[in-house]
Amino acid sequence: MHVLVVLLSFGSPMLAWAQSVELPNFRDQTERAAEPQLTGRERIRFLTSTDYPPFNFLDQAGRLTGFNVDLVRSICDELRISPLCQIEARPFDQLPKALADGEGDAIAAGIAISADSRSRFAFTRPFLQYPARFVVRRGSSLSTQLDTGLREIKLGAVAGSAHEAMLRAFFPNSVLVDFDTRDNALAALQSGAIEGFFGDGVGLSFWLASEAAADCCMFAGGAYLSDRFLGEGLAIAVRRDDEELADAFDYAINRIVANGRMAEIMLRYFPVSAF
């Protein structure tokens, strides 16, 4: 079994630029908690994978990087436990068993929060949720028609997806066109066969910045968040008997949001805001 182990090094340069982009805040800044004391721990091992950019992946030099990796660095920095922290990359499907078997202390790789996973693990509070977004051709007036329910507007979604279900629930008077793949739906959008596409805002933010989009399109309206359709969001998983560690991570994440480091990480990996 191939395992990539990285000792987390700190002191990397802060992002040297900023841009006008809307950033979400999923944390209550009025919350106050005492700084946790993680004494008696010789090391804290984070588990992740390498196959889900921009959250966790190998860069061109083969180094483990991504949003989750930088968030882990910031958490350890904020808790002043950097010398104890390391991160190991394994195949995603091996992560739950590795954590349960004590081969790591936390998973930072997008383990879905569900009744089943909650029965096996404890989680931090979500620090990021996946938004659904409309994408339209430049010059479209779809944004101004959202209040009227997009009646008779031809919209695309991937068949069988959560986004298709959301469209049916929230915009029942639109004309829904199902596609077998996102690529086919976006090609239909570019050709004018549909007036808008509804899908995962994170993935669409990268498509909008890609050569394939050719600057054809833009987001319309705002972000749609739904626990029912899209899940509770991203959180760090720990063993059920180690909720103290989850509480410590929550404390650190709150501080990272408050001091602006979360915004810095977001801007580094999401140059086109999904929100």
CATH code (residue 64): 3.40.190.10
What pLDDT is recorded for position 23?
55
Tell me the pLDDT of the chain (275 aa) as tens digits: 444 444 444 333 333 223 334 555 555 555 666 788 888 899 999 999 999 899 999 999 999 999 999 999 999 999 999 999 999 999 999 999 999 999 999 999 989 898 999 999 999 999 998 899 999 999 999 999 998 899 999 999 999 999 999 999 999 999 999 999 999 999 999 999 999 999 999 999 999 999 999 999 999 999 999 989 999 899 999 999 999 999 999 999 999 998 989 989 988 998 788 88
219 and 250 co-located in one domain: no
241 and 105 co-located in one domain: yes
236 and 224 co-located in one domain: no
64 and 141 co-located in one domain: no
Total domains, the chain: 2
pTM of the complete model beyond 0.85: no
Query: Around Cβ 5, how many Cβ atoms within 10 Å?
Result: 11
Classify the phi-psi angles of 111: left when phi > 0, otherwise alpha if psi is within -120 to 50, otherwise beta: beta
> Looking at the domain assignment, is residue 274 inside a domain?
no
Tokens in use for 125?
Answer: 């509070």
What pLDDT is recorded for position 12?
35
What pLDDT is recorded for position 271?
74
> Looking at the domain assignment, is residue 179 inside a domain?
yes
Give the start-end residues of each E strand in the chain.
4-7, 44-48, 51-52, 56-58, 64-65, 85-89, 106-107, 121-123, 132-137, 154-158, 175-179, 196-200, 217-224, 237-239
DSSP state of 84: G
* Contact of 98 with 166, CB cutoff 8 Å: no
What pLDDT is recorded for position 1?
44
What pLDDT is recorded for position 16?
28
What pLDDT is recorded for position 39?
85
68 and 18 co-located in one domain: yes
> Looking at the domain assignment, is residue 39 inside a domain?
yes
What pLDDT is recorded for position 31?
62
105 and 81 co-located in one domain: yes
124 and 158 co-located in one domain: no
> Looking at the domain assignment, is residue 275 inside a domain?
no
120 and 24 co-located in one domain: yes
Distance, CA of 234 to CA of 107 (rounded, Å): 11
What pLDDT is recorded for position 29?
54
206 and 261 co-located in one domain: no
* Contact of 154 with 142, CB cutoff 8 Å: no
What pLDDT is recorded for position 9?
40
110 and 242 co-located in one domain: yes
Its domain, for residue 137, covers 132-229
In angstroms, how far apart are the furthest CA atoms of the chain? Answer: 63
